């Protein structure tokens, strides 16, 4: 499947995500998700969950963030690296690092937000 990350709702969501506007990223991607079919639908749902997790983290809902990241990681397990034009392996590694830090009780993990590239 080819996702066009250069225009439309996917591009708007990516711009929002990269600027830290996680709730808005979620909203843009959800518009595409609603019209998608499998396997694209579940892949987009994982990205939406990642954005939502960091929105929750900003609101200090660590439990909710960890739950969303775990769900996203489970969904991404089915996709090969490069699916949809995304570096899926690197994304999974980054999510794993965040989950490790959150599970260890780190108050403010010094980790970059997972990159969607």
Where are the chain's structural domains? 8-103
Instruction: Give the end-to-end CA distance of the chain in Å, rounded to a whole number.
Output: 16
**3-class SS letters over the chain:** CCCCCCCHHHHHHHHHHHHCCHHHHHHHHHHHHHHCCCCHHHHHHHHHHHHHHHHHHHCCCHHHHHHHHHHHHHHHCCCCCCHHHCCHHHHHHHHHHHHHHHHCCCCCCCCCCCCCC
What's the pLDDT band for 2 if we cut at 50, 70, 90? confident
Q: Looking at the predicted structure, is the pLDDT value of residue 1 above 70?
A: no
Q: Looking at the predicted structure, is the pLDDT value of residue 108 above 90?
A: no
pTM: predicted TM-score of the whole model, two decimal places: 0.95
Topology annotation, domain 8-103:
Hyaluronidase domain-like (1.10.3450)
């Amino acid at each position: 499947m080819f996702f066009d990350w250069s225009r439309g709702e996917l591009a708007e969501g990516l711009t929002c995500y990269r600027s830290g506007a996680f709730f808005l990223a979620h909203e843009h991607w959800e518009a595409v998700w609603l019209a998608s079919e499998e396997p694209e639908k579940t892949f987009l749902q994982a990205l939406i969950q990642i954005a939502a997790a960091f929105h929750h983290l900003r609101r200090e809902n660590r439990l909710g963030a960890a739950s969303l990241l775990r769900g996203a990681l489970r969904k991404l397990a089915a996709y090969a690296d490069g699916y949809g034009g995304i570096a899926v392996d690197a994304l999974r590694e980054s999510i794993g690092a965040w989950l490790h830090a959150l599970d260890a009780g780190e108050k403010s993990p010094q980790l970059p937000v997972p990159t969607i590239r």
